[in-house]
Amino acid sequence: MNMNQNTLHEPNLIIEIESFTKTTIEQGLQRNDLPRLIKLLDDFERIYSCNHSYSDYLGLFDFITEFEFQNFKKLRDGKYSYESLLKVSDQLLDYFSWQFQVHKPKVDSDLRQYKHRVKRRLESLKKHVEDLFNHYSRNLVVRVDLKYRADSQDRVDIEIFNKHVRTLRNRMANKDKCFRNLKFNAWCLEHAPEGSYHVHLFLIYDGSTSTYDCKLARWVGRVDVC
């Protein structure tokens, strides 16, 4: 997706869809929820990509959209919308509620697998760091959070973010400029209502050649990944 085409704050939308799906699983789908559901469906249509894989709450929303809500997508005023959902019967509304609730085990399974992967990676990270400190006497640890400026966050989608992360990883791997004396790096990718998509960096430099942690952090914070 092109930056100039996207006017949605994509991370905010994802968080809102996850929240809506979780609430619907717990409380069912009520008729007064339909306007919000329709808006989420219309907005999700704008960011959806068949090249992406969706999991847990977002994955369930995508699954039900594809198999239950697609028939309600109609052309209106030159664009497609799910507004015809407003006219569904009470019986169909109950069926949609059941669809959200019956697939909860799949959501729980996705979340368990995610937590297991995170735990395994943290254990691996801990071992690598301990080995590094046992082998070298001088190490410089730098923590940096990279995020987009507020005036550009709503123009950054997951594809643009992924491209920038790949560029960042290549620069670290090639020890380019501010990563010249880098011994070890780890990163965590997240999305949040404030900060959009962002990266948490954990960097360990050769402490015998790099001694100014604040200077390095500012340098890394200005790294060009576009």
Residue with tokens 């691996």: 124
Question: Under a CB-based contact definition with an 8 Å cutoff, are residues 101 and 22 in contact?
Answer: no
CA 20 from centre of chain? 16
Residues pairing with 192 in the sheet = 196
Give the percent of the chain with pLDDT over 90.
77
> Which sequence spans correspond to the domains of the chain?
10-109, 136-221
Mean pLDDT, the chain, whole residue set: 92
Per-residue pLDDT of 96-132, as tens digits, reads 999 999 999 999 999 999 999 999 999 999 999 999 9
Q: Architecture of domain 136-221 in CATH?
A: 2-Layer Sandwich (3.30)
Q: Over the stretch 60-98, which tens digit does the pLDDT of each residue have?
A: 999 999 999 999 999 888 889 999 999 999 999 999 999
Angle made by CA atoms 47, 51, 52, in degrees to the nearest 5: 65
The CA-CA-CA angle for residues 64, 69, 73, to 5°, reads 145
Q: Which residue has the tokens 């090639």?
A: 174
pLDDT tens string 183-202:
999 999 999 887 789 999 99
